[in-house]
Structure 1
């Protein structure tokens, strides 16, 4: 998701926009002509000309665009005219547009197709971007102009959105350290630059270790594996030069299905260990030293900025407000989840004992949990998955979008993409008018970072007259040649989740790019995505789109079994997720790390204190927790649970109407949440949609914990 790293559009790494004459002037004509990033894009709709861009184009384009951005901010700061909203705040929003375009074009590729050349470029440009950020946000003259407008705000007759932009921009500068003395500002700038480089290195280490941790298996290791998984593993091995073998990449989308289905216990253990030890293998890609350094720097920066801890600093502008409030919610949910997980362990242990397994290990849980589920609900995972082809679930997602918001999707084949398999759609209103463009990059590749995410190639802006371009990424294992991609129910929910983020960006109607789309607090940005997940398992949708390769709809008994099992194993899943959130919050409340801090040992001790069974563990171990060390979610992983309070409560509003596609409520969700961006306090947006603040009761019911 997009961070609002700078006030307005100075260095919004995932924004897009037209190249201006300022950037063009920074490079010789010959270079500009040869470099497609230094001139307006010839591709349709101003999309990135990925068919013309080569790796060697990026750094010169960054250098030119960064120079242009420095000049933009110098010009605003040194303007001899008295500061006004127009010549200061709106100019900040317009500033850095060439850089926004180059950054969004590059960082989209850096996350989805990080070849060694791309990784080298990212390492080189990140310090320059951090220096620009510091030069803008720590510029006392620029801050003085913003502050003068802010002090006069009551006499300026500003619109609510203009006032929101003014307040948010000033807050960005204050929180960056603009009001500090010169010496302290300089130290904050040093910390920012070092943290930026360390984050890049963390991600680079993780990708390298993940690639190296792929497990090569032989035919006896995969006996009993469902045919689609077996074929995908064989294809992956062949692609890696190991004909006749089977390769399980160390990615969640490959590992979790394997752990669920593979009868061979030794093979499960190998795959599990490879996955959970990513970034923690005492090799050149080990992330433990980086973790200690990053946590220490974040704590120091928080102190310099007047906060008691990095967590306290991060949550000052969040809906939760304080680490204590966030932790209280996590405790409310994790306590019943721990009880449920222990009950689940008893059932799993009893079944595993039939196979002679007397001590259930972490690599056994998913395998035997699936057997318990099959017995309890007459549900077979392999059979169920056969009714979840990716194409069918995409059609389900697009139908849901049409029924809720009247939008239609029209695939475009004239727009260049950055990697094979990427697809593009034009999103239109019911009257045929264009909303924006949607890129989908669903399949895993060795150069793609783990997880699933949405980013923007261009954000919607009335001020700049720009329509949105958004991208969704997942890591679905590519199917064998000629076979359909079959996905799990969880992957289908992730598909809908990321499209919920996409809609948040696509449907924005903000005037200013700095307030547009997903530029909201971390603990609100997940609400539109998580509420959208609910439609992925709506019976009406599944009856229409859950079909096998023969086109046969999912049998009604199987559908009912799926629906009945929705809260099965929720103790395990909830504890895994929330233990990661709790450790993130605890780690970032530490004010000073001891000199001998060991991330691995600290993690183990915290899990012991929390009472997390070893058989369960945490979803993201610290050494590969890219959300908090390379993804902008430090001290904010709790946001998924905070947003779940809203999404569960919000979807109940639809169920209360008797029609989960209720047009009045859907219209209110669109108008009060999806179109609003950050133009007002997110809590106001939720209440405007729901009619009241959310309660946690629906979350506990949704997870079957109450």
Structure 2
């Protein structure tokens, strides 16, 4: 229609930066606005559907090139838009971003169902799979074909039409519920911040008080604000002398998702478990756990549970001994029963008594920037790589930093984004994202992101963390190295695309260097630049196994309840998540003062993070990492360059191009010994 006379023409709509070509695959975050995402998803989904249909419509007989490899080339625009968006959705979930997420997740799930349950595509894949021995494929091609076939079968592509349709509907509903769980938890976490008075923050060191005062000021409040995040709550519980204030802060953190408000997650938990059971039955498995572990190193819930219990039993005995010691100490204050909000406070007193360590004094030697330097120094010593700051790379939020990672000879490896600090719009925990997966098929280098939730310091102050926080820093960069060092041909086999109970091995083994004496002597320095006193360093390392009963029972009780919940073959009509949780903890004998690290109402790993029936993986991988690091110790040099190269070549660069167990054996020479885990935790 022609414009009316004298009516000015509207300016042309600006191009959508999400749909432009990106230089070096870098998302143009400075130009992206929330309004760009939905139209970009619509265009990218349209292009991805066209790519997919071009393969299924082909009249030629299926071949590796025209089917399997062709699928690896499809949906590149969708992959770019998705990675850019979901990175932001987890780290800076503003209301506008949450609205986009609610709208696009069902659309993406629908597309996933269309492609993974498509009969025509499955027929092509299945035909090649049956003939795989005669196709002349190399090892990586054969692995990709086998993994692609497995993915289709596990998605339900081999089911009758009615069952396929039901699986698709279940997947879509579960995806929506997962988004809702995450958004409710984030909202409840934000609403659960605790405002305290001067008297209530007695015992806090100056840096913690300043950060809490700054957090209150940012919210337009007077006093001291303790956000309901682990990085803020656990240090508070360790040093705050006001028992009533500790109880208040603990309750706010512990009850996230369980409060009687619109953010209660109980109904979502019940429905998710019901749907997972139904889908497992459709897939021919007796339970969700049985189905989930078919494609894991553990293979069965029984094998995973057996490992958990072998560690849990000695840990429970140790925790009971620890509680008795703490009660003896606390009785001097008139405490007759150790409560959950007491444990860390009196454990810190006991640690000071045994090792002459004060957490506040120790933290002065753990500035975040110093530990980042320690991380880079460690990685350079192991692998000879360089970190080059890239201030020119656009970032999605204030405070995010970017480095280019290069080989010792200067050859580029990939980009590393670091998002260390908590913000009200950031989901809890720590994690690694991939903005682009390495592969030689499309000539792409990796772009990875690490997220943590460290407390933002007051203006002009240093960010101080603990040794545990430093280990988290190293842990997440271990995931980052798994992505950065990947050296495979196909995107689907790249980097961290391995089973849950193996993906934590590269991250957890990297943690070991965070407490290396040489690294700490070089980088654990106070504001005056003075190194940590040798007596403090010795005591800190001697105390590594202190309180391990408590910490291990907390973690393993969460893993065991996850496995038990997802091993249910039917959900009782009167199922109530909180009542069920309470009964299971009583059955395990978990001390009241210890509890779970992640209670069901806020257990985002299993209800919003892809780890359902998979939280055991941290312990399974700890067997691998303890045994794997022992190889360095046995060599007499924990920076042994030959072993580091072997770890890189046989594990970190392999992705899922071969069975993970094969990769571990290629590095270590044998399967792992679980005894190393118990020794590391002081539970042997």
Shift of 1:144: 0.4
1:70 equivalent to 2:70? Answer no
Instruction: Tell me the residue number matched to 2:5.
Output: none
1:39 equivalent to 2:20? Answer yes
Shift of 1:148: 1.1
1:200 equivalent to 2:179? Answer yes
Instruction: Tell me the residue number matched to 1:406.
Output: 384
Q: Could you say what secondary structure the match of 1:36 adopts?
A: coil
1:94 equivalent to 2:88? Answer no
Counterpart Cα distance in 2 of 1:541 and 1:37: 41
Of residues 129, 148, 155, the one that matches 2:127 is 148
Counterpart Cα distance in 2 of 1:595 and 1:126: 30
Structure 2 length normalisation: TM-score? Answer: 0.98
Q: Could you say what secondary structure the match of 2:453 adopts?
A: strand
Q: Could you say what secondary structure the match of 2:183 adopts?
A: helix
Of residues 423, 442, 453, the one that matches 1:475 is 453
Shift of 1:616: 0.2
Alignment of 1:497-516 (within 5 A): 497-516=475-494
Of residues 190, 202, 218, the one that matches 2:169 is 190
Of residues 627, 630, 641, the one that matches 1:649 is 627
Q: Deviations over 1:174-210 (max 9, x none)?
A: 0000000000000000000000000000000000000
Of residues 383, 386, 395, the one that matches 2:364 is 386
Instruction: Tell me the residue number matched to 2:192.
Output: 213
Counterpart Cα distance in 1 of 2:237 and 2:219: 22
Q: Could you say what secondary structure the match of 1:76 adopts?
A: helix
Q: Could you say what secondary structure the match of 2:433 adopts?
A: strand
Instruction: Tell me the residue number matched to 1:287.
Output: 265
Instruction: Tell me the residue number matched to 1:681.
Output: 659
Counterpart Cα distance in 1 of 2:144 and 2:50: 22
Shift of 1:75: 1.2
Unaligned runs of 5+ in 2: 1-10
Q: Could you say what secondary structure the match of 1:471 adopts?
A: strand
Shift of 1:30: 5.5
Counterpart Cα distance in 1 of 2:205 and 2:56: 63
Counterpart Cα distance in 1 of 2:151 and 2:31: 36
Instruction: Tell me the residue number matched to 2:334.
Output: 356
Q: After TM superposition, what 4+ stretches of structure 1 lie above 2 angstroms from structure 2?
A: none
Of residues 567, 571, 575, the one that matches 1:593 is 571
**Length, aligned pairs only:** 674
Instruction: Tell me the residue number matched to 1:84.
Output: 63
Instruction: Tell me the residue number matched to 2:543.
Output: 565
Counterpart Cα distance in 2 of 1:68 and 1:590: 41
CA contact (8 A) 2:25 2:436 kept: no
Alignment of 1:291-370 (within 5 A): 291-370=269-348
Instruction: Tell me the residue number matched to 1:229.
Output: 208
Counterpart Cα distance in 2 of 1:533 and 1:78: 49
1:527 equivalent to 2:505? Answer yes
Shift of 1:34: 2.2
Counterpart Cα distance in 1 of 2:519 and 2:494: 31
Counterpart Cα distance in 1 of 2:496 and 2:318: 34
Of residues 231, 234, 243, the one that matches 1:256 is 234
Shift of 1:695: 1.1
Q: Could you say what secondary structure the match of 1:473 adopts?
A: strand
Q: Deviations over 1:236-266 (max 9, x none)?
A: 00001113x0000000000000000100100
Instruction: Tell me the residue number matched to 1:112.
Output: 91
CA contact (8 A) 2:190 2:228 kept: yes
Shift of 1:69: 1.1
Q: Could you say what secondary structure the match of 2:419 adopts?
A: strand
Of residues 644, 660, 670, the one that matches 2:648 is 670
Q: Could you say what secondary structure the match of 2:544 adopts?
A: coil
Q: Deviations over 1:289-314 (max 9, x none)?
A: 10000000000000000111000000
Structure 1 length normalisation: TM-score? Answer: 0.95
Q: Could you say what secondary structure the match of 1:280 adopts?
A: coil
Alignment of 1:585-664 (within 5 A): 585-664=563-642
Q: Deviations over 1:124-183 (max 9, x none)?
A: 000000000000000000000011111111111111000000000000000000000000
Counterpart Cα distance in 1 of 2:107 and 2:600: 28
Q: Deviations over 1:257-288 (max 9, x none)?
A: 00001001000000000000000002100000
Instruction: Tell me the residue number matched to 1:8.
Output: none
Name the stretch that deviates more: 669-678 or 71-80. 71-80
Instruction: Tell me the residue number matched to 1:23.
Output: none
Counterpart Cα distance in 2 of 1:206 and 1:46: 32
Counterpart Cα distance in 2 of 1:77 and 1:306: 27
Alignment of 1:574-593 (within 5 A): 574-593=552-571
Counterpart Cα distance in 1 of 2:209 and 2:144: 53
Counterpart Cα distance in 2 of 1:30 and 1:182: 46
Q: Could you say what secondary structure the match of 1:566 adopts?
A: helix
Q: Deviations over 1:436-478 (max 9, x none)?
A: 0000000000000000000100000110100000000000000
Counterpart Cα distance in 2 of 1:367 and 1:155: 65
